[in-house]
Amino acid sequence: MRDPEVATLACGLEAGVQNSLWTDAWRRLKQDRAAMVGAGICLVLGVLAVLAPWIAPHDPNLGYAEGLSNLGAPVPPNRTFWLGTDSLGRDVFSRLMWGARVSLLVGVVGNGLSVVIAIILGATAAFLGGWVEMVIMRFTDVMMAFPTLLLAIALAAILRPGIDILIVIIAVVYWVYLARIIHGRVLCLKEMDFVLAARSIGGHAWHILLRHILPHLVSEAVVYATLGVASTVLLEAELSYLGLGIRLPTASWGGMISEGQSYYRSAPWLILAPGFMLVLTVLGFNLMGDGLRDALDPQQRR
């Protein structure tokens, strides 16, 4: 059989295997109740975040006179303010909805950007090898030497970020671990038969990387991106709690906890409500990420 025919056959087999993997993965994912619960939680949070400007009952940054008691204290949940008000008379429920926009935007976009960086650097280093691999992976080692939270705090303290800068900070501190995983995966893939077949007919290195290797990294990227959202949402909340994240008066779950901690006895809903939303968000993405990891694992196939 001639080399072009070998390459064509290899590409066809590769495409068929990929289609079969995705079909089986979707079937297994639908059978995983925990994963579907997590997906449902993420979907509800996403809908609330997107529709917040239209369905939030009150302005999240406006203090209402009826939102404070005669003594100037926050009022508990009632018919007007479903989850009560904060120390400035602002509606907690509306601020939670707008805080979901901030948390999910920073978490999803920042984590997605870190995944892109990790795939580019990890795959390039493994596929090209030589001095390129040495430079990229030694830089990765240096980045891994810094504790993630401390590095994020240092960058936030220097840059005083808004939403855009916070997204960049998250991408900078979270790409290193996936880059290591991608690097090891590509080292294995580039020695497989379908890659050797593409090389035998003179395929360009970048064409082989983009056309034949990167599709095999989708499952790792999807799982890491889903699980990573939970971590990035928590990181954004931690920075906002410390006063280094989203600036007031923009609603952020971490900032809401920081503002309400002095009222934890007289108005516990100020920390319970955003705390519950953080727990729910992390739970939803972790359940969905675990389900995707099991569904996309080839060893789970029957």
**What whole-number distance in Å separates Cα of residue 4 and Cα of residue 16?**
18
**What whole-number distance in Å separates Cα of residue 71 and Cα of residue 89?**
12
Residue 16 lies in a domain: yes
> Per the structure block, which two tokens stand in for 76?
């508990």
Residue type, 223: V
Residue 136 lies in a domain: yes
123 touches 217 (CB < 8 A): yes
DSSP single-letter state for residue 65: G
Domain holding 183, by residue range, is 3-67+90-300
Tens place of pLDDT for every residue, the chain, 302 residues?
A: 444 444 444 454 444 445 566 677 778 778 888 889 999 999 999 999 999 989 999 999 988 888 888 888 899 999 999 999 998 999 999 999 999 998 899 989 999 999 999 999 998 888 888 898 899 999 999 998 888 888 998 888 888 778 888 999 999 998 998 899 888 888 887 777 777 777 777 666 677 777 777 777 887 888 888 888 999 999 999 999 988 888 878 889 999 999 999 888 888 999 999 999 999 999 999 999 888 887 776 555 54
Residue 58 lies in a domain: yes
Indicate the helix (H) or strand (E) that contains 157.
Answer: helix 148-159
Residue 35 lies in a domain: yes
Residue 296 lies in a domain: yes
Residue 261 lies in a domain: yes
> Per the structure block, which two tokens stand in for 53?
């400007």
190: nearest Cα among 257, 127, 274, 105: 127
Residue 96 lies in a domain: yes
Residue 9: per-residue pLDDT: 42
Residue 100 lies in a domain: yes
The structural domain count of the chain equals: 1
**What whole-number distance in Å separates Cα of residue 203 and Cα of residue 193?**
14
User: Residue 181: which CATH number?
Assistant: 1.10.3720.10
**What whole-number distance in Å separates Cα of residue 65 and Cα of residue 52?**
23
Residue 7: per-residue pLDDT: 46
- Predicted TM-score of the model (pTM): 0.84
